Structure 1
Amino acid sequence: MLHWVESQSILGITLFIFGFCYVLTMVIFGAAAILSRRAVAKELKAASPVTLTPLAVILALLLAFLSSRVWTNVDRAGGYVGQEASALRQAVLLADALPPDVRNSLRESIKRHLQFIETHDWPAMGRGEANLQVIPGGLTDAMAAILSFTPAQPAQQLAQERALVAIEQALDARRDRTRLSQVQIAPVQWIVIIVLMVLILVTIAMIHIDNRTAMAATLSIFSTAVALCLVLLMIYDRPFAFGGVTMAPTTFREVAVE
């Protein structure tokens, strides 16, 4: 269910989250309105507003913790993609100093790796199915091509060493972005947020049970604020997914391989 929601557009995620929060609010308001006609309403009205403070603090801390982690992951995702693309571009440039057959083999291997990213790696990360068991053949072939000759000049030796380092950096960056594509807010964390939200809504309804206008206004304000926070978390939760605010492999398309 969560994967389906997060795979929608920003508008779709926003409508779903706000709809869910408002439906939950209306259910609690309706239940409170029914109870307000009964004798138990006076006992519920005795609930202290101070009860809201610890609940609100716990919810705020949880949202702040998750928001910090989510946006840190977004920054890391961009960094890993940039590192991998830069390393591949460096290997392409260093190929000019290598013998013609090695140069052509290296460029062809990098081109195949770029196609692998577009056709396999990125869709797999979007589905949350990317793993390190799939070895990028393009990069392994590029590494084999670099090691397949003995440098005849100091310039070739230097280019060979740096090209090998660039390919290793590309492998490390791909490994990092693959791991990051599997990171997301766990279902149990979403459940805790929803439970805390329900507890606060119920407490608000109890405090204002004898004043429906105040109860409706307060419930609406709180549910809107929480819905906004949940929308932000969900659209940024998986930077490599298909929905929300996601990254496209456009950076790799700038690695021109002639």
Structure 2
Amino acid sequence: MSDWVHDLPVLWMALVVFGFTYLLAAIIFVAVMALATGERAKSFRAVSPGMLPVLGIIFGLFVAFTAAQVWADNDHASAAVSREASALRAVVLLAAGLPAEQEARLLALIHTYVEHAVTVEWPDMAHQTASLKATPAALAEALQLAVAMTPQGAGQQTAQREIISALGTALDARRQRIIISQSEVNAVKWWCLYLQAVCELLAIAIVHCDNRLASGIAMGLFATGVAVSVLLIVAHDRPFTGQISVGPGSLQQIMPGESTKR
């Protein structure tokens, strides 16, 4: 599915999906009615109506199969962002047990990382251009700072160990959300979904070729079901793209401040 479709507001996305689906149904209706004359009409009427529920069930399975991937991707994306935010929040809390200079430096680095994630990585993930090739400088420096600390007493030793662990968790969660941002329903699945919908629409038109009103109503109802299903999938297809997407709100909340309020 094209980038411009995913970037549309849900209302406009609905207009595109419904418009395309209804246009497809109208073309099939006109074509079948034009061909349903003479001997061809007799052949069309001989097609068994028993095909309709079978084709409908297959279409439903295609929708369920495709939607399962989309829901799983969105769940994983939300979990990755929440895990990253929780890990960074733990670092912020644990930093209170460090000397004032090290605490201030660590908090500044976390703050810089959050700003970079919100302003740079989220737009990149929305366009599926985010990369794992480079580690965020602020987070890498924070990890190096934590490792290089010379703790004074058991409390600071515990804080250092937990900070290092939390920063490692944040790096892993970031890696997961970037990987998930590359996920989408591929072209083969979209082609199969719409091809099955075309088969069902064609079967409806052929079975009801001797009654244009009944054929139009049945095709309109099924086309509406197809459009609703496709819209639901498209709106959630890319976890970090579009009006309905996983946002950086959890990360922005871990360090209240003017620069992170967006």
TM over 0.5: yes
Q: Residues of 2 paired with 1:58 and 1:134: CA distance?
A: 44
RMSD: 1.4
Q: Residues of 2 paired with 1:245 and 1:22: CA distance?
A: 24
Q: Residues of 2 paired with 1:152 and 1:207: CA distance?
A: 83
Q: Please say if 1:35 is aligned against 2:17.
A: no
Where 1:118 maps in the other structure, the secondary structure is helix
Where 2:123 maps in the other structure, the secondary structure is helix
Counterpart in the other structure of 2:254: 255
Q: Quick check: 2:204–2:215 contact (8 Å CA) kept in 1?
A: yes
Counterpart in the other structure of 1:246: 245
Corresponding residue pairs, total: 257
Q: Percent identity?
A: 35
Pairwise CA distance, 1:213: 0.7
Point out where structure 2 has 5 or more consecutive residues left out of the alignment. Answer: 258-262
- Runs of 4 or more consecutive aligned structure 1 residues displaced over 3 Å after TM superposition: none
Which deviates further from its counterpart, 70-79 or 184-193? Answer: 70-79
Q: Quick check: 1:91–1:167 contact (8 Å CA) kept in 2?
A: yes
Counterpart in the other structure of 1:20: 20
Q: Residues of 2 paired with 1:226 and 1:58: CA distance?
A: 13
Pairwise CA distance, 1:57: 2.1
Q: Under a length normalisation based on structure 2, what TM-score does the superposition of the two structures give?
A: 0.94
Counterpart in the other structure of 2:191: 191
Pairwise CA distance, 1:257: 6.1
Q: Residues of 2 paired with 1:252 and 1:67: CA distance?
A: 28
Q: Residues of 2 paired with 1:206 and 1:134: CA distance?
A: 57
Point out where structure 1 has 5 or more consecutive residues left out of the alignment. Answer: none
For 2:167, give the aligned amino acid: I
Tell me the alpha carbon deviations over residues 189-210 of structure 1, each in whole angstroms, 9 at most, x when there is no partner: 0010111111111111110111
Q: Residues of 2 paired with 1:36 and 1:150: CA distance?
A: 86
Q: Residues of 2 paired with 1:130 and 1:169: CA distance?
A: 19
Pairwise CA distance, 1:39: 2.8
Counterpart in the other structure of 1:95: 95
Counterpart in the other structure of 2:146: 146
Tell me the alpha carbon deviations over residues 127-147 of structure 1, each in whole angstroms, 9 at most, x when there is no partner: 011121131111100001111
Q: Quick check: 1:184–1:238 contact (8 Å CA) kept in 2?
A: yes
For 1:235, give the aligned amino acid: A
Which deviates further from its counterpart, 62-71 or 170-179? Answer: 62-71
Tell me the alpha carbon deviations over residues 227-258 of structure 1, each in whole angstroms, 9 at most, x when there is no partner: 111110010111201x2411221211111167
